[in-house]
Structure 1
């Protein structure tokens, strides 16, 4: 039994004429007859009686017609929902955001969905990369935007749309370090609280190579949390020093350390390999391309 056969049943029931239905369906009359006969054979009951020149539904045919209409309606609704999801007009987008991407993408993503895709359901999760990866594998999330360098390579993960962003030490405009005379060394920063989200092992290695063992995040970071926006607020209102991607806090002042920090974060969109792409993912991908880049 096929949807095509059910549509043939509906058409013939409406017209009562093989000739008229065949014309409206752009079929030959023998082709329509074969379709109806095949459906009757499969169901094991006649669907129509011949009354003069008209084809009239049998009692079984009338019941089959009601079910056929519902099946065709449900199929068309399903197809329509699929098209709407592909076009970003319905469905659900479940995205996990790491700390840096969260600071740059969360508000623009919510605004974009509210204004351009108001019928799409949006769920955003924030947290440590390990937690987000677990939720992705459990299919609680459709995709992640995280620092790819914090990922443990795995065959079941697919990473795309990589964007590299520069890290920096940042403070408020009237911070004492902005008036520092001579070369600014890392030891000078340790006079103040140092704030950071959890950093990747690669960034930690870079800090140690540049500034010595005391620069390892486990040693020097005194204020640590997943929410970079909260850390930025603290740095704006205190003498704390922020370690983060430069683009996450453009209003803060970047400190010119000697030697320069030279560390970057490499953000990417992470999905499960061999899984169909979530319909809302192109929206996220476009935001990553538009927003997660260094400002000129």
Structure 2
């Protein structure tokens, strides 16, 4: 039994005539008759009493007709759903990103995807890159946006680098240390310091190494939280100071509510951010739309950071550049 035979059966039921049904389904009378006989054989019951070219439905046919309609309808809707899914209009997409990126990208990305594909169902996880990588490996995510080092030694993963994020120390505009040169740790520690609880261990160890701080590093910070929005609120509304990636504070710097501090030595770390996904896995077309949004976001971020650094350099005497050190090196 197949849905083609069911469509032939429904045509006869609807029209009550073998010849009319044959015309509708574009078959000869003998071919339609063979199709009906094959369906009866598959179901094991007679569907029609034949009276010349007219067919009288049996009680079996009347009992089965609505189920047959549902089967044919479900097949059509299934094909339509797959077609829409290929076009990115329907289906589901699960992805993750770090909280520093999510603050400015997550809502924007979800709104754009849903606006373009109202039938799409999205779910997002905001976590550190190591947690996101574990979720991706367990196939709970289609991809994540974060530290691409996670995929460096994984042959079944693909990483697309999109942005090299640098680190620094940041405070509110008008902070007592704003505009000061060569600020040392003793001056920083005179103010409450905020630490992101999701910070990578390589970042934690490098901060301790650079500034001569003992471990655990958290003991030197007055405040510790995983929530980036809380960190921003604390920094912009008090004399608190926080180490951060440039991408996490890009909006605050652009708005003028936060400034970079000239701390000595520099927090010479960088982290390459991008898209991490399974190698060889077929993704819904909506994933490609999401990737385009992510690429545009990072391109815009790079432009904003370059402009902010240009403005900062114009206000600050040139200094000999230090060699950058990568996170985890």
Q: TM-score range by the shorter chain?
A: 0.7 to 0.9
1:159-178 alignment, distance < 5 Å: 159-167=158-166, 168-178=168-178
Question: TM-score normalized by structure 1?
Answer: 0.79
Distance 1:23 1:244 in 2: 72
1:59 aligns with 2:59: yes
Moved more, 136-145 or 8-17: 136-145
The change in CA–CA distance for 1:237 and 1:28 in structure 2 (over 3 A counts) is same
8 A contact 1:169–1:254 mirrored in 2: yes
Distance 1:35 1:187 in 2: 89
The change in CA–CA distance for 1:257 and 1:26 in structure 2 (over 3 A counts) is farther
Q: Deviations over 1:101-136 (max 9, x none)?
A: 222222213433564445544433333444445555
8 A contact 2:97–2:145 mirrored in 1: yes
8 A contact 1:128–1:226 mirrored in 2: no
1:46-195 alignment, distance < 5 Å: 46-112=46-112, 115-136=115-136, 141-149=141-149, 154=154, 158-167=157-166, 168-181=168-181, 183-185=182-184, 188-195=187-194
Distance 2:10 2:227 in 1: 58
1:223 aligns with 2:229: no
Distance 1:61 1:200 in 2: 67
What are structure 1's unaligned runs of at least 5 residues?
none
Distance 2:155 2:63 in 1: 51
Partner of 2:267 in structure 1?
261
Aligned length: 293
1:281 aligns with 2:280: no
Distance 1:217 1:255 in 2: 24
The change in CA–CA distance for 1:207 and 1:30 in structure 2 (over 3 A counts) is farther
Moved more, 137-146 or 223-232: 137-146
What are structure 2's unaligned runs of at least 5 residues?
307-329
Q: CA deviation at 1:218?
A: 2.6
Moved more, 17-26 or 240-249: 17-26
SS in 2 for 1:176: coil
Distance 1:178 1:132 in 2: 35
Question: TM-score normalized by structure 2?
Answer: 0.72
Distance 2:66 2:121 in 1: 33
8 A contact 2:89–2:286 mirrored in 1: no
